[in-house]
């Protein structure tokens, strides 16, 4: 076997070894994918909750001024 053949075999073995190591490293990515899906679902749920809260706050801010003014007027008339 010549020196260049040995160098080529060592390079091929290194490439195959790195590919195997890379594959083993990311073999558990299914579990990671499931965790990401759960986190995305949780984020969507929280976003929906926040959106509902903002809508309620907007409704309170826009509607209660008129109601509050009527209540003050009613209290002024009552006293």
Residue boundaries of the structural domains of the chain: 50-79
pLDDT tens, residue by residue, 10-52: 999 999 999 988 888 777 666 677 888 899 999 999 999 999 9
The pLDDT of residue 50: 93
What's the count of helices (H) and strands (E) in the chain, helices before strands? Answer: 2, 0
The pLDDT of residue 33: 76
Rg (CA), the chain: 33
């Amino acid at each position: 076997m010549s020196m260049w053949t040995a160098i080529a075999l060592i390079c091929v073995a290194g490439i195959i070894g790195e590919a195997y190591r890379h594959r083993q490293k990311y073999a558990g990515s299914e579990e990671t994918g499931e965790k990401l899906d759960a986190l995305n679902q949780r984020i969507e749920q929280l976003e929906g909750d926040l959106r509902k809260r903002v809508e309620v706050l907007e409704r309170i801010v826009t509607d209660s001024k008129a109601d509050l003014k009527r209540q003050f007027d009613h209290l002024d008339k009552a006293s």
